Amino acid sequence: MGQEMNNILVIGSTGQIGSELTPALRENYGAESVVGTYWSTEPTGDLTNGPMEKLDVTDRESIAEVIEKHDIDSVFNLAAILSAKGEENPQMAFKINVVGFFHLLELGLEYELNRIVNPSSIGVFGPEVPSQQAPNETVLRPTSMYGVTKVTDELLGNYYYHRFGLDVRGLRLPGIVSSKTLPGGGTTDYAVEVFYEAIREGHYTFFVREDTALPLMYMPDCVKALIDLAEAELDNLEHHCDFNVSSMSFSAGELAHKIEEHIPGFTYAFEPDERQKIADSWPDSMDDTPAREEWGWEPDYGLDAMVEDMIEKLEVKLGQDAT
């Protein structure tokens, strides 16, 4: 049985996932019990409905201060440099994704934290992995710096669990599609940008080929996966930091067709850039049997439901009616 999460720290609350996970955790655990943090982007809107701290994940002392100030016992770490940005600055990716996480592991021991959740990614996979239903247990030889940092984090997290009994958990998230906050610096960003441009401009140029298929997930499922994994019974977990979690897989061309059904006249083109190489090194889909068996993972959204909901939400947000 794992220990309870009472006072939760979310590192990176103003990012794509953090901006939706933080309010969801506050809903479940109470606004005052969930401390959000930010670095370069100031919090706005519902993020200001609870405690917020400015925090640099590479500065161990500043994390320790926030843990002490708020009597934190559990941490969700969403601070990360994603795959495309990681290729521009591999050194920074290592510092934030690995050194930042290492500080958390060490602070986890020092402050006897009950739980650390650190998302991993499909970025851990490399070209040798079967592209259909990539297994949970497989060779991990990523070709991007992002992937290297995420494999390192998975191994470190598992090591700290087995060596020190620190309850560290993580899951390999696919590309996340969401309407609240844009992602930044990822290879799967096209799957979000296309909705904005389709509604605003009626046209989008994908930076990957039409036949590029990847595992993707809608934000409500991502938030559910993170919270369900964090709340799962420790006794039921055989894996800890490396769960595949899957919900849907589609190509850039399929997504474009689906959007066209809702936005007639939408036009699109495909001009692959350097991100294509990263996309080609990742599998099209993943097998997530361990997540389903060990903590009951099951997604709610498929492609149709996601596209419908995204367009509905973005039309309101962007103040236009595209139909």
Which residues contact ligand AKB (rule: CB under 6 A)?
A: 82-83, 121-123, 146, 173, 175, 183, 186-188
Q: How far is the CB of 285 from ligand AKB (least distance, A)?
A: 13
How far is residue 157's CA from residue 169's CA, in Å, rounded to a whole number? 7
Spatial CB neighbours of 193, under 8 Å, sequence gap ≥ 6: 182, 204
Residue 18, SS3 per DSSP: helix
How far is residue 81's CA from residue 93's CA, in Å, rounded to a whole number? 5
Task: Assess contact for 17 and 175: CB atoms under 8 A.
Answer: no
Determine the residue with CB nearest ligand AKB.
186
Task: Assess contact for 135 and 243: CB atoms under 8 A.
Answer: no
Catalytically active residues are 146
Q: Tell me whether residue 66 or residue 286 sits nearer to ligand AKB (CB atom).
A: 286
Q: Nearest-CA neighbor of 113 among 77, 79, 59, 78?
A: 77
Give, for 148, the enclosing helix (H) or strand (E).
helix 145-164
Three-state SS sequence of 118-131: CCEEHHHCCCCCCC
Q: Tell me whether residue 5 or residue 21 sits nearer to ligand AKB (CB atom).
A: 21
Q: Tell me whether residue 172 or residue 224 sits nearer to ligand AKB (CB atom).
A: 172
Q: How far is the CB of 85 from ligand AKB (least distance, A)?
A: 8
Q: How far is the CB of 72 from ligand AKB (least distance, A)?
A: 26
Q: How far is the CB of 30 from ligand AKB (least distance, A)?
A: 30
Q: Which two tokens stand for residue 241?
A: 């930091």
Q: Tell me whether residue 250 or residue 266 sits nearer to ligand AKB (CB atom).
A: 250
Q: How far is the CB of 207 from ligand AKB (least distance, A)?
A: 11
Spatial CB neighbours of 253, under 8 Å, sequence gap ≥ 6: 210, 211, 270
Q: Tell me whether residue 189 or residue 315 sits nearer to ligand AKB (CB atom).
A: 189
